[in-house]
Structure 1
Amino acid sequence: MTFNDNASVGGNTARRRGRGAAVAGGGIAGIGAIAVLLFQLFTGTDISGLVGGGGGEVGSGESTEIAQCQTGEDANERDDCRLAAGSLALDQYWEGQLQGYRAPQLIIVDVATQSQCGTASNQTGPFYCPPEETVYVDPTFFALLRQQFDATAGPLAQLYVLAHEYGHHVQNITGIIQDHPDNGTGPDSNGVRRELQADCFAGAWVGDMTEQVDENGVPFLEAPTQQQIADALNAAQTVGDDHIQQESGGAVNPESWTHGSSEQRQRWFETGYRNGAEACETFGIPGGSL
């Protein structure tokens, strides 16, 4: 996945927030029940014990623009600008798919910051906070993915992660989250169905990503290569519940799953990629057929 160097991405509304911008003391707020923390999306647990650190000061609510993020060339060079530029393409895609779509806020986290759904940092991973309609991402999280879980976490994999969180936003504003509340864990649970649907929505956008253009009609993104698609599928495989359980040395226990197996996550991404968002109905499928 590569942005066109001359694409204009300076109109994005992403903001940077965290300790590097403004320091304030504070503890960790309680995490909301429907906050979809990406590493909880991966494992169901905080990973501070794996990566060290945690706690300490978190940034205030003050935010700033993403500096020097004006062109596709900038997006190709820096993770923070890539995510900010990706938000433009994602918003444009969903505006075309969903009547009445409203864009979420994207916050690029600098070390740590507070949200209504808890502290955002690279240890909690990217997440969507429904009460705020905001996506939080610390770009250094992708290095942790490579170090701790052997994911390649390349550019398209990073945008898959962002698109997955945007999928949760779509679920929130269309009432899917509210209509299918948490009902426990397990391979047929609503939680697994929501996560697989968000994977499918991400794949649908990747399949359509070359159709989104800037104000001059220049496509934001070039068509992904097969290697880049494989990289995104690798990320989906890495974050399967069964893979995480195996990596942590435990037995595979489907009844504890909250996000789906590696095979399911790859398959639903591919379903969206090949067939579009209309193919992402995971809630009408009988148990055992997901």
Structure 2
Amino acid sequence: MKFNPDADLDTSGVEDTRGSGRGGGGLPGGMIPVGGGIGGIILLVVILLLSGGLPGSDGGDQPAVQNTAAGNLDSCKKGSDLQQNSDCRFVFYQNSIQSFWAAELPRRGKKYIPAPMRVFDGSVSTGCGPATSAVGPFYCPPDKRVYLDIGFFKTLQTDLGARGGEFAEAYVVAHEYGHHIQNLYGILDRIKSRNGPTSDSVRSELQADCLAGIWTNHATTVPNKSGQPLITELTEDDIARGLDAAASVGDDRIQEKTQGQVTPESFSHGTAAQRMKWFKTGMDSGDMTACDTWSANPL
């Protein structure tokens, strides 16, 4: 994955609260109260892991990410800043994803409302309730905001077995912005059934994977405000890592790892095969009309 060193970056929609003490208290296990269409839209129910939480979910140390300094994303103004601050890649992801949807939705007659991305550590207070890092990245509809603890991506590799890499990170961020697109269309209000292999929750999550794939299709052509491309290259290895990340967060993979057995009646996000399928569907088509998981049978 290559980033344009000459691109201008926009940090106005990236809120870096790490180390600021602005997080707020989290619930045990990092759970967010279900209500208002919230349940089933978090990327991972990682609280299923082993003792009910990931390392650090009880307030202890979170997995470290190399070259990370708290509250440092405000300094990411140019693409070249990535050389001094590797965290600037998250500004690239957010800028590219938002720029794509800001152009795509009006083309389809829909107004795009920007969604900030709040980067936090430890715990955070949201319009969906308090959460800890153990919840994983998530989107909160009342806030119209994506929440992200960068330490999660280390956990994605160490606990869930993903290969990792920059595009695996980008896929996760794009998935959460997929939920924002759903929210703007009123789709999240349709979520009634939250568990089961064909539940509304599963259909919502697979659609968000598909929407992430659509951005992927266009990623290397998305410009910033000055017309410069933000991401200049995605390789086959990048795409493979994105598909691998999608598979690693499949319900069946997580349940097999944590329970030793698969129970489809408790699915909330879809199987590894389904998540890869719908991400690839969006990526291959580049067209939102290909992402109708609500009428698809089988998924």
1:262 aligns with 2:272: yes
Corresponding residue number in structure 2 for 1:175 = 186
Corresponding residue number in structure 1 for 2:8 = 8
TM-score (normalizing by structure 1): 0.87
Check whether the contact 1:43–1:239 (CA below 8 A) recurs between aligned residues.
Answer: no
Residues 138 and 27 (structure 1), Cα distance of their counterparts in 2 relative to 1, 3 Å cut: closer
Corresponding residue number in structure 2 for 1:54 = 58
1:91 aligns with 2:98: yes
Distance 1:115 1:246 in 2: 31
SS in 1 for 2:237: helix
Corresponding residue number in structure 2 for 1:71 = 78
Residues 225 and 168 (structure 1), Cα distance of their counterparts in 2 relative to 1, 3 Å cut: same
Distance 1:65 1:201 in 2: 29
Corresponding residue number in structure 1 for 2:248 = 238
How far 1:222 moved relative to its partner?
1.5
C-alpha deviations, 1:181-212, integer Å up to 9, x for none?
A: 22141111110000000000001101101121
SS in 2 for 1:31: coil
Q: What amino acid does structure 2 have at the position aligned with 1:153?
A: G
TM-score (normalizing by structure 2): 0.85
Following superposition of structure 1 onto structure 2, how do residues 203-222 of structure 1 map, counting pairs within 5 Å?
203-222=213-232
Residues 44 and 190 (structure 1), Cα distance of their counterparts in 2 relative to 1, 3 Å cut: farther
* Aligned-residue RMSD, C-alpha: 2.5
C-alpha deviations, 1:26-53, integer Å up to 9, x for none?
A: 453852331533322x676797634144
Q: Is there any run of 5+ residues in structure 2 with no aligned partner, and where?
A: 61-70
Check whether the contact 1:32–1:116 (CA below 8 A) recurs between aligned residues.
Answer: no
1:117 aligns with 2:128: yes
Residues 164 and 77 (structure 1), Cα distance of their counterparts in 2 relative to 1, 3 Å cut: farther
SS in 2 for 1:236: helix
Corresponding residue number in structure 2 for 1:31 = 33
The alignment covers a number of residue pairs equal to: 279
Identity %: 37
Residues 38 and 75 (structure 1), Cα distance of their counterparts in 2 relative to 1, 3 Å cut: farther
Q: Is there any run of 5+ residues in structure 1 with no aligned partner, and where?
A: 57-63
SS in 1 for 2:225: coil
Q: What amino acid does structure 2 have at the position aligned with 1:32?
A: V
Distance 1:92 1:190 in 2: 28
Q: What amino acid does structure 2 have at the position aligned with 1:68?
A: S
SS in 2 for 1:67: helix
